[in-house]
Chains A and B, each alone.
Chain A
Amino acid sequence: MIEHATPGIIACLLIVSLVIYRCLRAGTSYVRRLPAVDAVYEAVGRSAELGRPVSFSTGLSSVGPVLYAAMGILHAIAQACARYRTKLFIPQNDPPAMAIVESVTRDAYRSVGLSSQFDPRNIVFLSEEQFAFASGYMGLIHRERVGAAFLFGAFAGESLILAEAGQQVGAMQVAASVSPEQVAFFIATCDYTLIGEELFAASAYLSDDPIQRGSVRAQDLIKVGVFFLIVIGVVCASLQAVFPSFTFSPSFLFTGGW
């Protein structure tokens, strides 16, 4: 019986440390092409040509891994917006997340030497309530007639409302969510969609940072490990179904000696 996650977590931590160390030594690592991430710059460029602003939403994300993954992409988008002199609206739902978003956006503008372009009034707190946030977002998208809308983060029932708002004003939309239920809505409504873990890989793809790229490589290795565990589980379960006397229980991993 699995009582706790200690062995798995320690194994993951070791793999991550080792792979990041190797990538740091090698300088960089290959990340396969993600068309949705390539489309990020295309969307910002299109907005600049149309003279329309860009919007970036982290949805209902609170401070956590999903928000941090989205911040890597926000950094790249904010840099592109600063270079193209395009207004970037960032409607917000969570106050602590808003503080991080403001810091990342300010840093992105500063990194391209255009701090004066950064306007904190474009980071708008709408509401903590899900549908009040959705209606505020819709209003913003329609009033400002955005040329590109990015939806990266955690979304729930409001995802389709947000994506349809962008669709109605003809904005080019790129979305990413770790929630499988919302991915279907984004695929139906947005031009490009990143599914699940691709959200975490996107910022590594946009930057050459060996730490980010190394962690993408590490998570792939961990997934391969999980895949083999699933295969072993399937084989064991099948064997037990055919031969009821067959038992395989690596209980020493999960219960003993801790």
Chain B
Amino acid sequence: MNKEIIIRLFTFFAGLYFVVEFILPKEINEEIGLVNIHESVSYGFLAIGAMAFGLGIINLIRIHGSKIIFLQKGAFYSLVLLLGFFSMTFFAIGDWKLNMESSKRAASIGLLQKFAEKVETTDKLELLKLEMKKIPELRDRADSLATLEDANKSSIIFQEASQKVVNEETSSWIKDGYNFLNKGVFVPLGAAMFSLLGFYIAAAAYRAFRVKSLEASLMMIAAVLVVCGQTSFTLMIWEGFSPIRNWLLQVPNSAAFRGIAIGAGVAGLVLAFRMWFSIESGSFGRKK
């Protein structure tokens, strides 16, 4: 069996799964037991996606690494990019690990708190103390629980310990580094890029709304009416702009949107059939 046939069979059966899962009625899925394996299949796809993510990282390191090594044009920018990439990776992994550890400790503290509230015998009390000594935040407080009553009313000790865990997590240098890179650099840079849209929309609107043809004129009139119906100043002049705006958006605009969506949906479906049966031409299987 050659490679192409294996790929085609794999594609067909993977496609068949989705057809059965999403297109056939729910009752049939339940009857054949497909509902039960849906979660496992979804995890499988996630795993494949995660592996593919490595391709992006390899590409990034290969291209920018070679630029730095051979001191090609833009090597400095590549260096900044790789430094950013590695530092973000380091701090993100560190933060994730820190969160995991602290949530594990907080969960243990919460569990012990529930246990302490219901301790009724001395041997259970000893067991509680033993478990408390295993958690750094509770180690010193274990011996303060002398009686069963102490244990039953010890919720404040556990709350303090939970708070300590939270404080420790938030005051860590890894958390600081992660917050700096994420909230201090990444988010503002994303917002800055998004804000460029405001300027670009003005430039694009200037080009698009020049009255050079009948279509452009209609577009400009429609745009002016929508803008007038949207801004409070023009609505102060005449309230009639608002219903005109609503009509333009809900009737002709929706009709065009739906037309495009139906066309694209049908075309996507037909292409999906071609992919499912591996009859896509050229690079995707069948040779011309």
Contact = CB atoms under 8 A, between A and B. Distances in A.
Given A201-B267, A215-B274, A157 B197 contact: yes
Interface string B55-85: 1110110110010000000100100000000
B200 interface: yes
A26 interface: no
Given A68-B275, A219-B266, A104 B193 contact: no
B126 interface: no
Contacts of A258: 25, 27-28
Contact of B207 (A12, A125, A180, A189): A189
A98 B60 CA distance: 12
Contacts of A28: none
A195 to B, nearest CB: 6
A195 B87 CA distance: 42
A103 B283 contact: yes
B256 interface: yes
Interface in B258-288: 259-264, 266-275, 279-284, 286, 288
B204 A98 contact: no
B270 A68 contact: no
B182 to A, nearest CB: 11
A178 B260 contact: yes
A215 B54 CA distance: 35
A110 to B, nearest CB: 10
A212 to B, nearest CB: 6
What 10 A-B pairs have minimum CB-CB distances, sorted nearest first? A188-B208, A95-B56, A200-B267, A197-B263, A196-B260, A178-B264, A131-B193, A96-B52, A197-B267, A188-B204
Interface of A: 3-6, 9, 12-13, 16, 20, 64-66, 68-69, 71-72, 75, 92, 95-96, 98-99, 103-104, 107-108, 121, 123-125, 128-132, 134-135, 139, 143, 157-158, 160-161, 163-164, 167, 178, 180, 183, 185, 187-189, 195-197, 199-201, 207, 209, 211-212, 215, 218-219, 222-223, 226, 258
Given A20-B279, A188-B205, 20 more contacts: A4-B25, A6-B25, A65-B275, A92-B56, A92-B59, A95-B59, A98-B55, A99-B52, A107-B283, A124-B63, A131-B193, A160-B204, A164-B200, A167-B203, A180-B261, A187-B208, A189-B207, A197-B263, A197-B264, A215-B270
